[in-house]
Structure 1
Amino acid sequence: MSIKILFSPSEGKNNPQNILKHKDYMPLESKLDSKAVREYVAFLQTASEQEIATLFGSKTLHIEELSLAQNLFNVPCIESIRLYNGVGYKALDFESLPHQAQVYLYQNLYIFSNLFGAVRADERIPYYNLHQGKGKGAFALKNLYKHLKPVIDEVLSGQEVLDLRAEAYMKVYECKCAKHYAQIVFLKDSKKVSHYAKFYRGIYARAVAQNGISHLDELVRLEIENLHLCECSHTQNATILTYEVSS
Structure 2
Amino acid sequence: MKNTVCLLLSGLILWAFRFAAAAPVVATKVYVISLTGSEVHEKPSFQARVVRKLPIGTAVDVVQTIASDDVKQVGAGFALQGDWMKVTAPGYTGYVFSSDVTKRKPEVKKSADGLLSVDLLGVKKSSRVEKKKQPTGNKNSPADYAVLETTEYANCTYTTTTYDGCFDHNYTFRHLTLPEVYHHMISSYAENEYDHSLKATKLEQPKLLSRKGNVYRFTCGFGGSATQDLKLTVQGNGVITISSYDCT
TM, length-normalised to structure 1: 0.26
Higher share in strand = 2
Higher share in helix = 1
Structure whose alpha-carbon radius of gyration is higher: 2
Q: Which has the higher contact order (CA 8 A, sep 6+)?
A: 1
